[in-house]
Amino acid sequence: MTTLGPKPKRLDLYVTRGLTWAKGLQIKNADGTYLDLTGHAFVGGIRKTSSSAAFYAFSFTQLSTNTFEWSLPDSVSSAMPVGCNDSDPASKYVYDVLWTRPGNDPVCIMKGVVTLNPKVT
């Protein structure tokens, strides 16, 4: 479960090519409780570099009033080029996630590097 605070979070991700990757996402209030995310929206995606034309989008699904699931479907990870192993630069991508609260502009809440590993079997 990814819990976010008021500052953008750096989180590196590891995804196996051709498999669905999913993680829960929650945002804490100042008092430590989880924010009601009803009416909120999230978007995010992956690029080879921040200026690359190819874009692979995350999916965001609200599971409860305070939890979204963000995922990268297997059809997306299968389409992404990958290197030989997780230390190969060809396997590295950058990503970000934007959060839009009702009546506000989107803000970047999370970013990092995605390592796309080849499937072994």
Residues 46 and 9: their CA atoms lie apart, in Å, by 16
Q: Which residue has the tokens 């750096």?
A: 10
Domain boundaries, the chain: 2-117
pLDDT bin (cut points 50, 70, 90) of residue 82 is: confident
- The burial of 114, by beta-carbon neighbours within 10 Å (0-12 exposed, 13-18 middle, 19 or more buried), is given as buried
Give the architecture (CATH level 2) of 2-117.
Sandwich (2.60)
Would you state the torsion angle of the CA atoms of residues 23, 29, 32, 38, taken in this order, to the nearest 10 degrees?
Answer: -50
pLDDT bin (cut points 50, 70, 90) of residue 98 is: very high
Model's pTM, two decimal places? 0.85
pLDDT bin (cut points 50, 70, 90) of residue 30 is: confident
1-17: average pLDDT:
76
> What pLDDT score was predicted for residue 95?
95
86-100: average pLDDT:
88
